[in-house]
Structure 1
C-alpha cells in the first residue's frame, strides 16, 4: 500500500493547515526488571498488580508475523458505518433534461466533475461504533482516485436520540478544500476544530461528503461512521505502561480500541514504512470488512 498521502487543505473560513498521513512497526517487549529481594524477605514480596495485569495482554514476539494483529470487536449493536459513493447515478443525469436548470452534467460541480464511475469514498471505521482514548483523535478515510482542489464537508455531531425530534446545528460543520492522492488520508480533529474535545461516554457520528449538485443533495458522495471516547481499563493502562511503542497497535487492537490501534499502526508506517507494517494494516482493515480498501493496499 502506498504510504499515507500528505494532504494540505484549508477551511472555508480561512483556516489553513497541513495534514500528514500515517502507518506501523515491529514488536519487541521488555518489561522492566526489579532487583532480587533479600532471601529472608523473598517469600513476602508479591508482584505489583499493574505488572500482573499487563502480563495478561501479550504483544506478539518478533517471530510472529505482524499481520497476526487481532481486533477484538464486540460484534454487537447497530451497524453505524454507511457509505454512498457509487457515482453511476450521476451519469444518469444525462436523461434528466426536463428538470429546470439541469442540462446533462452541466449542473455538477467541484470534485464530482473529476470522479470516475468506480470512484469510492470510505471512512476507516468498524461496522459498529469504534472506541478511542483520545479527546482529539485522528480520523482516517480513503479515496480510490486522486482529486484536485476537491471541496469536502466534514460534519461531527452526537448520535441522534431516536426519542428526540428536535433539530439543532451539528457540533462541527466545516468545508475543507483538499487535493488528495488515491489512498489512505488522515484528518486530525485538532486541526479541524482546535478547541473541540470529545466527551467521554458520548457517541458521536462523523460524516465526510462531496456535494455534487446544489439542488440535488441525494447525489452527494458521502460516508459516515461513529466514535465514542472511553476510559482505558485497568488492564489496558497496565499493559501500555510496560509496552514498547512498536507493540501498541497490537495492545489497542486486542482491547477493541479501534481508533488508537489504527492511528498508532499508521504512524509507525509513516515513520518507517515496510511491507510487514502495511500488511498488518491490511489485516486490520479486512477484519472490519473494509475489503475494498484492504485490496488497494496489497
Structure 2
C-alpha cells in the first residue's frame, strides 16, 4: 500500500514538473519569436560620425536664426538641418547638386519671400534664387540645387545662406541661417555597398561615413512618405538628436518651393 502511494505521488510530481517545463519552453519560444532579428538591428542602427570641418579658425555659419525684432521675431527659430562642429555649421555630400533641409517656424506670405544662395570660395554664385511661396505652412522645407545650376566640385567647400525677408518695411533686413557644404568622392567600396543596400540601409551608410546631406535627405524622403512607420520614426529621431536637432523630430513636412514632392 505504501509503495502504491509513493508511486502515485511520484507520478504527480513528474507530471507537475513536465507541465512547468513545457510552460517555460513555450514562454521562451514566444520571446524568441517576438525578439527582433539581430541582423535587422545591425542593418538599421544609425550612427552619424561627424567629420572634422575642412578648415579651422573662427566659428563659421549660423544654424538658427537668432533673436530678431518686429515682424521678424516670428522667424527667429528658423533652423538649418545641418550639424555644428565646434562652431562650424557644415556637412559633406557625395552629390554634385545636393538638397538642403530647413525648419520654417512661421507661414510664408506674398510679402515674406525667401532667398537661397550657394557660393564658392571666391564668392561666385553657384546658385541664387529668390522665391515667393505664399501659403507655405510652418514646417520642414526642402531646397534642392536644380540640374540647371553649376555642379559642385569634388574636394571643394561651398557656403550657403537661406534668408527670410520678413519685414516689408525694411527689405534689407532678414532672418537667415548659413553654413558650408563640401562635396567628397564616393569610393568604390561605398558605391558598391550603396547599390546593394535598401534606402534605409543607405541612410545608415551615409551617416557612418559622415555624409550628412545625403543621409538626412534620403531619410527625410522616406519618413515623409511613411510617417507612421515605427522604424523610420525611430531612425529619424536618432539622426536629428545626434545633430543636436532633437527639438525638430516632430516638426511636420511642408511643401515649398519645388514643383513636386
TM class by smaller structure: 0.5 to 0.7
Greater RCO, 1 or 2 (C-alpha within 8 Å, sep 6+):
1
1:230 aligns with 2:181: no
**Secondary structure, counterpart of 1:198 in structure 2:** coil
Partner of 2:35: none
Partner of 2:77: 120
Partner of 1:210: 164
Mind listing any 5+ residue stretches in structure 2 that lack a counterpart?
A: 1-37, 253-261
Equivalent pair of 1:130/1:228 in contact (CA under 8 Å): yes
1:141-179 CA-partner distances (Å, limit 9, x unpaired): 11123323330011110135xxxxxxx653332211113
| Cα displacement (A) at 1:236 | 1.2
Equivalent pair of 2:46/2:238 in contact (CA under 8 Å): yes
Partner of 1:50: none
Equivalent pair of 2:127/2:149 in contact (CA under 8 Å): no
Partner of 2:33: none
| Cα displacement (A) at 1:267 | 1.6
Q: How does 1:44-55 map to 2 (within 5 A)?
A: none
**Secondary structure, counterpart of 1:62 in structure 2:** helix
**Secondary structure, counterpart of 1:153 in structure 2:** strand
Shift of the 133–214 alpha-carbon distance from structure 1 to 2, 3 Å rule, reads: farther
CA RMSD of aligned residues (A): 2.8
Q: How does 1:53-92 map to 2 (within 5 A)?
A: 61-63=39-41, 68-75=45-52, 77-78=55-56, 79-83=59-63, 85-87=65-67, 89-91=68-70
| Cα displacement (A) at 1:124 | 1.0
Work out the CA distance in 2 between the residues paired with 1:65 and 1:261: 15
Equivalent pair of 1:202/1:229 in contact (CA under 8 Å): yes
Number of aligned pairs? 204
1:51-84 CA-partner distances (Å, limit 9, x unpaired): xxxxxxxxx8324695x41111124554543146
| Cα displacement (A) at 1:264 | 1.2
Work out the CA distance in 1 between the residues paired with 2:248 and 2:61: 14
The match for 2:217 among 238, 247, 263 is 263
Partner of 1:249: 203
Partner of 2:226: 272
Mind listing any 5+ residue stretches in structure 1 that lack a counterpart?
A: 1-59, 92-107, 161-167
